[in-house]
Amino acid sequence: MRLLLDSTLCQGYGVCQEHAPDLVELDEWGYASVVAADIPPGAEDTARACADTCPNSALRLEK
């Protein structure tokens, strides 16, 4: 499973990083970048919560 980011949709709310600080980091303006695209075993629920709570659907999971 992979976590993918469409940076054109990110508005810098930072909600994703609250749910998955090991998978997503924020720049100085709050815009996300994916640190670990390949989700480690056991972190699937965290990644799903990260993607599901993005207000702009900028993050998605791919199997």
pLDDT single digits (tens) 25-57: 999 999 999 998 899 999 999 999 999 999 999
In a domain, 15, yes or no: yes
CA distances from 33 to 5, 21, 50, 53 (A): 7, 11, 12, 16
In a domain, 45, yes or no: yes
Question: What pLDDT, on a 0 to 100 scale, did the predictor assign at position 3?
Answer: 96
CATH number for 49: 3.30.70.20
Please tell me whether the overall predicted TM-score, pTM, comes out greater than 0.85 for this model.
yes
Q: Which domain holds residue 46?
A: 2-56
Token representation of residue 7: 């940076």
Q: What phi and psi, each to the nearest 5 degrees, are found at residue 5?
A: -120, 130
The percentage of the chain sitting over the pLDDT mark of 70, rounded to a whole number, equals 100
Number of domains in the chain: 1
CA distance 16 to 33: 10
Q: What confidence category does residue 16 fall into, taking pLDDT thresholds of 50, 70 and 90?
A: very high
